[in-house]
Amino acid sequence: MREPYNDEQDWDSLRKKVIGLGEESIRKSYYPELQQRLKELQESEAKFRDIFDRILDMIFVQDIENYKLVDVNQHACDVCGYTREEFLHTDFVDICTDEQPYTQEHAKELCDKAIAGEPQFYEWRIKDRSGRRIWIEGSLSMTIIGGEKRLLFVGRDITAKKQAEEEKRALEQSLEEQKRKFYRQIILSVTEGKLDICDKKDVEPFIQNAKVGLNVTKAMDVSLARREIKTICQDYGLKGERLHQLTIAAGEVITNAIKHAEGGRVYAGVTKDEVWVGVVDNGPGIESLILPSAVLRRGFSTKPSLGFGYSIIIDSCDRVLLKTCTSGTTVILFKHVEDNHISLLSAIPDVWETLP
């Protein structure tokens, strides 16, 4: 049989539990457990923060609504020169350099893509507290932290790597320029001043002032172009064997352009006393290491069917300008309208005439 309900006794027991009296109080039975849980949680958070700050990559956590930073690790603070508190009053796009394409607008576009579920991997430039530019490489993605959607950027400082790459490029460029200057002097000397390895600025004026221009893309265009060149050069006053030589040389250059660069454009013009023909292509150019052989060795070719190469071109012209690089080759052939060749024998005085 159930004991009768004692309202006063139950109320007194409940009161003691709530205010912490007696052995059955809530404070004594639950509070110690709560304290233990809180302690464990704090220790866990401290461990996480310790690991978070020891990571040698920069970590930025952003709000997806306003791009404000809600957390950063210590390495990000060390690299950028800001305290964590200062970072939490800004957002990631504020440290962008505003140099194309590393602008705030582009940064927000990448953030939007990451929020839409497309992780982003890229190199970027930011600025530190002093304004120094820093190269970073990393990833941007959306994640859930503490039940909230966040943007997570993890990256590393690659400024030293970029500087080393730039120094290497500058050194390679300097060595290439020195090598080309050396080859230019040697080739100019060996060819008795006929072949000049030159730069873009040396050939551009001729192309810009050309009287004629036509495209060549296939083998059958060679004979058509040669006929056109012959007609043009005749109009400029070139004739006979000199006309024939320039036509042959032009045909050889056009053939090179078609075989090595899948075509090019032929130009022609006239100076005060010279007729010239130029061929421009967008091929890979002639490598510096094979440049002397390519232009001096008779029959040399990187392709079996190229022909006599530059030796026949040099023999057939009064002078040649050659500009070549990885973005293409320009060759300009010159022939004097009149034969200005002076025989060495005729230049020697006849000493017999002075004898008595």
Determine the pLDDT at residue 335. 94
Amino acid at 291: L
Q: Any idea what the CATH number is for the domain that residue 116 is in? A: 3.30.450.20
Whose CA is closest to 176, among 282, 259, 285?
A: 285
Report which DSSP code applies to 278.
E
Determine the pLDDT at residue 12. 60
* Residue 302 sits in the same domain as residue 204: yes
**Token pair in block for residue 85:** 């508190």
The residue among 91, 125, 157 that closes a domain is 157
As a whole number of angstroms, the distance between CA 48 and CA 284 comes to: 55
**Residue that is written with structure tokens 């309900």 in the block:** 5
- Containing H/E element for 123? strand 120-127
What is the layout of strands, in order, in the sheet containing 69-72? 69-72, 58-63, 148-157, 133-145, 120-127
Report which DSSP code applies to 118.
-
Determine the pLDDT at residue 137. 94
Does the residue 2 lie in any domain? no
User: 220-248, pLDDT tens digit by residue?
Assistant: 898 899 999 999 999 999 999 999 999 99
Determine the pLDDT at residue 313. 87
* Residue 130 sits in the same domain as residue 32: no
Q: Any idea what the CATH number is for the domain that residue 241 is in? A: 3.30.565.10
Which residues of 128-225 form beta strands (DSSP E)? Answer: 133-145, 148-157, 195-197, 212-216
* Residue 201 sits in the same domain as residue 290: yes
Does the residue 349 lie in any domain? no
Does the residue 271 lie in any domain? yes
Does the residue 3 lie in any domain? no
As a whole number of angstroms, the distance between CA 137 and CA 159 comes to: 9
* Residue 31 sits in the same domain as residue 101: no
* Residue 303 sits in the same domain as residue 271: yes
As a whole number of angstroms, the distance between CA 250 and CA 263 comes to: 14
Determine the pLDDT at residue 219. 87
Which stretches of the chain drop beneath a pLDDT of 50? 5, 18-19, 21, 25-27, 300-308, 342-348, 350-353, 355-356
Report which DSSP code applies to 3.
P
Could you tell me how many residues make up the chain?
356
Domain with 272, as residue range(s), is 173-336
The residue among 125, 157, 189 that closes a domain is 157
Does the residue 47 lie in any domain? yes
**57, 138 in Cβ contact below 8 A?**
yes
Determine the pLDDT at residue 347. 47
Q: Quick count: other Cβ atoms within 10 Å of Cβ 285? A: 18
* Residue 198 sits in the same domain as residue 319: yes
As a whole number of angstroms, the distance between CA 124 and CA 347 comes to: 68
**Token pair in block for residue 14:** 């409940």
As a whole number of angstroms, the distance between CA 88 and CA 344 comes to: 85
* Residue 240 sits in the same domain as residue 327: yes
* Total domains in the fold of the chain: 3
Determine the pLDDT at residue 276. 95
Q: What is the CA radius of gyration of the chain?
A: 40
* Residue 228 sits in the same domain as residue 326: yes
Does the residue 95 lie in any domain? yes
* Residue 144 sits in the same domain as residue 227: no
Q: How far is CA 119 from CA 57, 78, 141, 154, in A?
A: 18, 26, 5, 12
* Residue 93 sits in the same domain as residue 198: no
Q: Quick count: other Cβ atoms within 10 Å of Cβ 264? A: 26
Q: How far is CA 325 from CA 180, 216, 298, 343, in A?
A: 11, 20, 22, 37
* Residue 151 sits in the same domain as residue 69: yes
* Residue 105 sits in the same domain as residue 209: no
Determine the pLDDT at residue 110. 92
User: 175-197, pLDDT tens digit by residue?
Assistant: 888 887 887 888 888 888 898 98
Cis peptide before 101 (omega within 30 of 0): yes
Does the residue 281 lie in any domain? yes
Does the residue 133 lie in any domain? yes
Q: Looking only at Cα atoms, what is the longest distance across the chain?
A: 169
| 290 phi, psi to nearest 5 deg | -105, 5
